[in-house]
Structure 1
Amino acid sequence: MTNAPPLPMLITGIAGVPGYNAFHHFRARYGDQVIGLRQASMWPLAGDGIVACDVEDAKGIERLWEQYKFKSLLNCAGTCRLKSCELDPTMAHRVNVAGTGNIMTGAAAHGALTIHLSVDLVFSGEQQGEYTEADPLDPVTVYGAKMVEAETVVRTLRPESCILRISLPMGISFNGHAGAIDWIASRFKQEKPATLYYDEIRTPTYTDCMNRLYERLFFNPIVGTFHAGGSRTLSLFEIAQIVSVVGGYDPSLLQGCPRIEAGPMPPRAGNVTMNSSKIIETLGYQPFDPWPFPAHLVPTHRAWHLEQKEFSGSQEQVHALLYQNPNAPGTTPPSRSELWGSKRFRP
């Protein structure tokens, strides 16, 4: 196959938002040469090219590498459940650190071109954002601390890797309630309130933009650690305002507060916005359109969502404006409800 990245390709963590969207992006281009890995418990996520194996299963991961002999790896695996990681640091280490070690051991043994996803939560947010790759790491959560350890594992076992620190990946989730968009929307769909923070600030990115970046990096590899945050900064509350308006939900369901009022469990980061100028300069172009792309959907104040009565929100608008980048739309994968309907159990 000409004009293709090194194949076959392994994409791990396909039950999560970045992995799920990347799997469909690359599978549409390279077919059976792309394999997606999901945890064994996520049985509804099934289909061609999907393999079940927990990343902490060292023997199982070794067999997977031996079977397919992957030549490229996009590692999206891990658990980002903040509270679960706080309550069970051993589990967080097993999945996010030891699991990364198992994946990287295979990548090193087979010489696979490697992209590893880390996260903005390796920072505390106490310095008011605009973090660069040179800033010291000071996570406030167990999850963030384990992602720091995972980065060290990658640099040790596969030093030729590209480590991308991402923020919130904005795309559809398989289960309908993972990721920022779908978690917020799932609350509103059930007519339940959602409380988001005024002062946790992120740099969200369309998965469409991320997928094209991965593809570029597989064709033209770069080595090192790079920030890959979007070009627009938004608080979690502002993100929820956008979801409320674009989805056409009851605006009274959205509540906001400073993160200090949210209680101690789990701890919350502050302004963890990332400066991504290093990767922009390395590539020679800006890979990330702002999320959301339409500027008129950016809140201007805390009551903004209550005033957008002329906007006709719907699930179709969420697909067209929030899941997809309307400036350069990719393919939106199906959700679990689209695939399974009302079925909840194994047939």
Structure 2
Amino acid sequence: MSGLMLLGAGGQLGREVAALAGERGLALTALDHAGLDIADAAAIERVIGAMKPDVVINAAAYTAVDRAESEPELANAINAKAPGDIAAACARHGAALIHISTDYVFDGTRTGAYVESDSIAPLGVYGASKAAGESAVRAALPAHLILRTSWVYGAYGANFLKTMLRLARERDRLTVVADQHGCPTATRDIAEAILVAAQAFRAGTAVPGTYHFAGTGATSWHGFASEIVAQAARHTGRRPEVAAITTADYPTPARRPANSELSSELFAERFGYRAAPWQQRTAEVVDRLLAEN
């Protein structure tokens, strides 16, 4: 058997990849946690060995950033060890691997957008576990593409946009951090980038390595929330106040990078695809979610 294999098919990104592949009529084997527990190295070997995909897409991850501070062993099992096991199985069975990583490998002290060659310095357990996963993939498999993305949102699963929509219905005033900056990235765009890269691997034209891929344009969490509320108001007529606060006003167990902006120029240059402006995708996702309700 050949084709694409998707791990983490039950997550917000995995569901988007599966949906887009279905629209395109692509042969995709989609496995959620019940289909393959990526913490089980023997199961990874068995499944990849049996199915022999051309390209494996690893969208599975431990993403509870704050909870990772108190669950480091679990975070590392999923984010650090498992990617290495997946990459090693891919190497043994002739598959390429597209592995999703994060802006949280950086400490946020850079001025301007991060590029792929910038030094990593994660601030917490989650970022460190993802950085270790990247290293494990690089060590095990030359035919890999690590895709770092940021501030992920979409129609599926739980994410910041959906939380803001809920709070905008419930409250007249929202308080949102304004001193952390980054690039909101729609799952639809990430899914498209993944499938573009997968096709390049299958065609023999992919340049392996580490890439950044994020929504076009940058903002703060406060700016993102304000746009979500403004777009929702077109449907609901409600427009609660969105008040700006600082990171210090909203302490969390895990430290966040103050600057998460990623430059996606290298991916655009080598693969010919760039994400839409984040405001455009935000409007589309809000329209989709509110039209369903």
TM range (shorter): 0.7 to 0.9
2:160 maps to which residue?
A: 180
2:278 maps to which residue?
A: 291
- Post-superposition CA distance 1:313-338 (Å, at most 9, x none): xxxxx7x62368xxxxxxx7x9xxx8
- Post-superposition CA distance 1:117-154 (Å, at most 9, x none): 11111111112341111111011121111111000011
Measured in 1, the distance between the counterparts of 2:245 and 2:111 equals 18
Whether 2:50 is the aligned partner of 1:67: answer yes
1:265 maps to which residue?
A: 253
Q: How far is 1:277 from its partner?
A: 1.9
Change (3 A) 1:183 1:38: farther
- Post-superposition CA distance 1:278-321 (Å, at most 9, x none): 222223x4512211128xxxxxxxxxxxxxxxxxxxxxxx7x62
Whether 2:91 is the aligned partner of 1:97: answer no
Whether 2:200 is the aligned partner of 1:210: answer no
Q: How far is 1:222 from its partner?
A: 2.0
Measured in 2, the distance between the counterparts of 1:82 and 1:193 equals 25
Whether 2:28 is the aligned partner of 1:34: answer yes
After TM superposition, the score normalised by the length of structure 2 is 0.87
1:219 maps to which residue?
A: 199
CA contact (8 A) 1:206 1:323 kept: no
1:23 maps to which residue?
A: 18
Measured in 2, the distance between the counterparts of 1:64 and 1:192 equals 50
Paired-residue identity, %: 25
- Structure with higher RCO (Cα < 8 A, 6+ apart): 2
SS for the counterpart of 1:21 is helix
Q: Which runs of 5+ in 1 are unaligned?
A: 1-5, 41-51, 295-317, 325-331, 342-347
1:252 maps to which residue?
A: 240
CA contact (8 A) 2:149 2:214 kept: yes
Indicate which of 10, 13, 30 corresponds to 2:5: 10
Q: Give 1 or 2: higher helix fraction.
A: 2
Whether 2:262 is the aligned partner of 1:274: answer yes
Q: Which runs of 5+ in 2 are unaligned?
A: 201-205
1:231 maps to a residue whose letter is T
> What aligned pairs does 1:98-113 form with structure 2 within 5 A after superposition?
98-113=81-96
Q: Name the count of aligned residue pairs.
A: 284
Measured in 1, the distance between the counterparts of 2:243 and 2:11 equals 26
CA contact (8 A) 2:145 2:210 kept: yes
2:267 maps to a residue whose letter is I
CA contact (8 A) 1:128 1:270 kept: no
Q: How far is 1:158 from its partner?
A: 1.3
2:214 maps to which residue?
A: 229
2:284 maps to which residue?
A: 321
After TM superposition, the score normalised by the length of structure 1 is 0.74
Change (3 A) 1:254 1:54: farther
Whether 2:150 is the aligned partner of 1:167: answer yes
> What aligned pairs does 1:300-311 form with structure 2 within 5 A after superposition?
none
Indicate which of 228, 233, 241 corresponds to 1:243: 228
CA contact (8 A) 1:71 1:110 kept: no
CA contact (8 A) 1:170 1:323 kept: no
